[in-house]
Structure 1
Amino acid sequence: MEIVIQPTPAEVDSTVADIVEGYVRAGATTLGLATGSSPIGTYRELAARHRDAELDFSLARAFLLDEYLGLPKRHPQSYYSVIRSEFVDHVNLDPAMVSSPNGEAQCPEKEIARYDQSIAAAGGVDVQLLGIGTDGHIGFNEPGSSLTSRTRVKTLTEQTRIDNARFFDGVDDVPHHVLTQGLGTISDARHLVMIATGEGKADAIAAAVEGPLSAFCPASVMQLHRHVTVVIDEAAASSLKLADYYRYALEHKPSWQSF
């Protein structure tokens, strides 16, 4: 696991965009896309590079982490809609090649099996972007989630619903249930890239990176993964015990070694 501490959120966004750009410029690639506030700056940076530096997404495809159960896909806060308005509509990534769990599925059990199968059939995810909740959740894998879980229906904690209420008219409009890739599904991706900024994420980052491997902090599953890059700003790094070492390691990173 590599911890990259950058001075500002803008530099976090640029670093993550560098990682994604490397995959995209290498040719056909499968992106794992997260929604929420954490990756928005990265998506804006990638859109600017598409516009100004001819970053071509035409050979890429993508899978989303999750979706609200029962929310129509054309609802402005469905992740089907959000990823298009925040990212896909601003680059030349074919919308037909952007897959997400169907929150309107009549049989969620069949839908979750279909979704995992579709990821596998595509050859898996090359690089998966991740945010982290204040309680350590990734995707919608709330504390207590099995570290080997697959795509499934989850019940949101009240805190998550409160955190997401800012995107709706109020907490009563936030669905109670979601379809989410499981921690095992996420871990199948070949490269995990976590994005976090702000002091409010500091304790969650410390628990995920330096705490015990535990279902209590779902993001700690990253400790088992063979290729993880955690990109954070100074505020989000403020609870890390080994922050000075992470800075030292980045400063002395071999020139031939990529993220």
Structure 2
Amino acid sequence: MRVLIGSSAEHVARIAADNVLAGLAHHGHGKNPVLGVATGSSPLGLYRELRVAVAEGRADFSNAQGFALDEYIGIPDTHELSYRQTLITEVCNTFGLPVSGLHTPRGMADSVEEIEAAAHAYDQAIKASGGVQVQILGIGSNGHVGFNEPGSALRSRTRIKRLAAQTRIDNARFFDGIEHVPTHCVTQGLGTVLEAGRLVLVATGEAKAEAVALAVEGPLSASCPGSVLQLHQDAVVVLDEAAAAGLKKRAYYDDAAEGISLENLRVH
């Protein structure tokens, strides 16, 4: 795991975007990138930096596919508060990933069994695409990744999940009161997330500091789903100073971020 700390929100966004583009180049399949996309405030700056990269000719998402992490149950995907519509605005309309290439879990059906079957099919669709090359992630104040709330199995697959009370409180600002926030969702499982070629987690603000510290330096535990990043061979965590405030090994992360110089390694 690499931990990179930016000096401002803009710096965090640039670092994250650079690592997404480098991950697509390393794990990619030519001109058909497969990107895992997340909602929330954390990746918005990253998405704007990807738009800059497209404008400068450093990236092209016109033939890309995007797989969303999650979707609410009980909200049509045409509703303005659905994650599909949110991602059309924040991803498709920002850096050019085609709407036809955006895949989101199915949160509406006539039965729970239909939603469960669609969740299984979503995992299969990711595999059929060749797999997510870079998965963009945020982290909740309780350590959730996607909507994998504390207690989620570390090898879980895309499935129905009950939202934690704190998650519903955190998301109530988007709705007309907590009573209108859905209680359940469909989310990629932690096992699904771990199959991506690279993970790029972005976190900003002091409210995320405790969750970040547990995910990066705490024990591998279902109590902090974000700690599953410790199992991934190519995970990048990009933070601002506030989100990094709880890290005990900050000095090492800063040293490691400078990279390696063979010249400096030579014995004179």
TM superposition shift of 1:52: 4.4
State yes or no: 1:117 paired with 2:124: yes
The normalised TM-score by structure 1 is 0.94
Give me the whole-angstrom Cα distance separating, in 2, the residues matched to 1:62 and 1:222. 21
State yes or no: 1:41 paired with 2:48: no
Q: Please tell me the root mean square deviation across aligned C-alpha atoms, in Å.
A: 1.5
**Matching residue within 131, 142, 147 for 2:154:** 147
TM superposition shift of 1:170: 1.6
User: Are the aligned partners of 2:47 and 2:95 in contact in 1 as well (CA < 8 Å)?
Assistant: no
Give me the whole-angstrom Cα distance separating, in 2, the residues matched to 1:24 and 1:57. 11
Give me the whole-angstrom Cα distance separating, in 2, the residues matched to 1:197 and 1:39. 10
Give me the whole-angstrom Cα distance separating, in 2, the residues matched to 1:248 and 1:48. 29
TM superposition shift of 1:202: 0.7
* SS at structure 1 position matched to 2:148: coil
Residue 190 of structure 1: aligned partner: 197
After TM superposition, the structure 1 stretch with the greater mean CA deviation from structure 2, 70-79 or 174-183, is 70-79
Give me the whole-angstrom Cα distance separating, in 2, the residues matched to 1:192 and 1:47. 20
Gaps of 5+ in 1: none
State yes or no: 1:84 paired with 2:88: yes
- Mapping of 1:9-24 within 5 angstroms? 9-23=9-23
TM superposition shift of 1:37: 1.0
Count of matched residue positions in the alignment of Structure 1 and Structure 2: 255
Give me the whole-angstrom Cα distance separating, in 2, the residues matched to 1:157 and 1:23. 32
- Mapping of 1:42-61 within 5 angstroms? 42-53=46-57, 55-61=59-65
State yes or no: 1:242 paired with 2:241: no
The normalised TM-score by structure 2 is 0.91
Gaps of 5+ in 2: 263-268
User: Are the aligned partners of 2:48 and 2:95 in contact in 1 as well (CA < 8 Å)?
Assistant: no
Q: 1:5 to 1:179 in 2, by over 3 A?
A: same
TM superposition shift of 1:119: 0.5
Residue 134 of structure 2: aligned partner: 127
Give me the whole-angstrom Cα distance separating, in 1, the residues matched to 2:23 and 2:223. 32
Q: Deviations for 1:115-146, whole angstroms, at most 9, x for unmatched residues?
A: 01100111110000000001100000000000
Q: 1:202 to 1:253 in 2, by over 3 A?
A: farther
Q: Deviations for 1:66-96, whole angstroms, at most 9, x for unmatched residues?
A: 0001101111111100001112013332211
User: Are the aligned partners of 1:24 and 1:56 in contact in 2 as well (CA < 8 Å)?
Assistant: no
Give me the identity figure in percent. 51
User: Are the aligned partners of 2:23 and 2:198 in contact in 1 as well (CA < 8 Å)?
Assistant: no
Residue 103 of structure 1: aligned partner: 107
Q: Deviations for 1:7-60, whole angstroms, at most 9, x for unmatched residues?
A: 112111111111223355653211000101110111122123323446321121
Residue 66 of structure 1: aligned partner: 70
Give me the whole-angstrom Cα distance separating, in 2, the residues matched to 1:247 and 1:38. 21
Give me the whole-angstrom Cα distance separating, in 1, the residues matched to 2:261 and 2:77. 45
State yes or no: 1:179 paired with 2:183: no
* SS at structure 2 position matched to 1:58: coil
